């Protein structure tokens, strides 16, 4: 029987690519989304992947949403925490709500999404949790103190949870994408892209969402059971550690 995979923020951008790739690899996939009904319905119609709406920053919403997914598809065995937002501004101008919104959606969501599934994964002696962080969680980024803090927290969360669950057959890994050619990044003015972004990427181009999706499919596989607590950087050589 096909394993069940849940992708948060799974109807647009990198998340949509991940959901499609997991389906193509034979998984039963559910895609969570937060607010854009039009995009979610278009994604569902295009792919046939069921979509589920809830706010990943709210624990009760996550618990209820995950229960609905499991009732419809079966126990969640692969969880991809991809949902994220930005509220960019220099720290000395940052408002408390800009800080809280990013921390709640990009970091606290990992607790909210993992806690309802972790006991089942441990009981079944199998699970794959894959968190999507960012290059800016590794190196920091001016104007993104909130985002960088949250994404760095995702990495620490991954390493600790991996240690707790390795003996139970549950792996926990994190992917740190660099600049990926999503709708948001491609909206950057071309001159800014050519002068300020691409020169810092040794491979000389943006990444593609599908390249991140292939990383997820690799880590989600049954054969990836010896890989846990790892940080996979997919940034075209922009930041090497």
Active site residues: 147
Give, in order, the Cα–Cα distances in Å from 86 to each of 7, 126, 141, 143, 164: 19, 33, 12, 10, 30
CA angle 17–18–20, rounded 5-degree value? 65
Question: 62: number of CA atoms within 13 Å, CB side?
Answer: 23
Which among 188, 57, 166, 67 is positioned nearest to 122, based on CA atoms?
A: 166
End-to-end alpha-carbon separation of the chain, Å?
A: 39
CA-CA distance, 142 to 162, in Å (whole number)? 30
Find out whether 198 and 185 touch, Cβ atoms under 8 Å. no
CA-CA distance, 224 to 227, in Å (whole number)? 6
Find out whether 129 and 168 touch, Cβ atoms under 8 Å. no
CA-CA distance, 108 to 124, in Å (whole number)? 25
226 CB-near residues (< 8 Å, 6+ apart): none
Alpha-carbon radius of gyration of the chain? 17
């Amino acid at each position: 029987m096909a394993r069940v995979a849940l992708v948060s923020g799974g109807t647009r951008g990198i998340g949509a690519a991940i959901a499609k790739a997991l389906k193509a690899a034979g998984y039963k996939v559910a895609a969570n989304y937060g607010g854009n009904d039009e995009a979610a319905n278009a994604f569902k119609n295009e792919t046939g992947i069921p979509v589920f709406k809830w706010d990943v920053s709210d624990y009760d919403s996550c618990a209820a949403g995950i229960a609905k997914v499991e009732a419809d598809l079966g126990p969640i065995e692969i969880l991809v925490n991809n949902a994220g937002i930005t509220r960019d501004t220099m720290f000395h101008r940052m408002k408390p709500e800009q800080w809280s919104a990013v921390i709640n959606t990009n970091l606290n969501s990992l607790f909210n999404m993992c806690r309802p599934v972790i006991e089942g994964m441990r009981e079944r002696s199998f699970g794959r949790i894959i968190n999507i962080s960012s290059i800016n969680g590794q190196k920091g980024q001016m104007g993104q103190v909130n985002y960088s803090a949250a994404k760095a927290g995702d990495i620490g969360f991954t390493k600790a949870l991996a240690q707790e669950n390795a003996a139970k057959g549950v792996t926990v890994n994190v992917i740190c994408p660099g600049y990926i050619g999503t709708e948001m990044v491609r909206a950057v003015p071309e001159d800014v892209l050519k002068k300020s972004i691409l020169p810092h990427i040794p491979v000389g181009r943006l990444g593609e969402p599908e390249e991140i999706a292939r990383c997820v499919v690799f880590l989600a596989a049954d054969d990836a059971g010896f890989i846990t607590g790892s940080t996979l950087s997919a940034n075209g050589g922009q930041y090497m550690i």
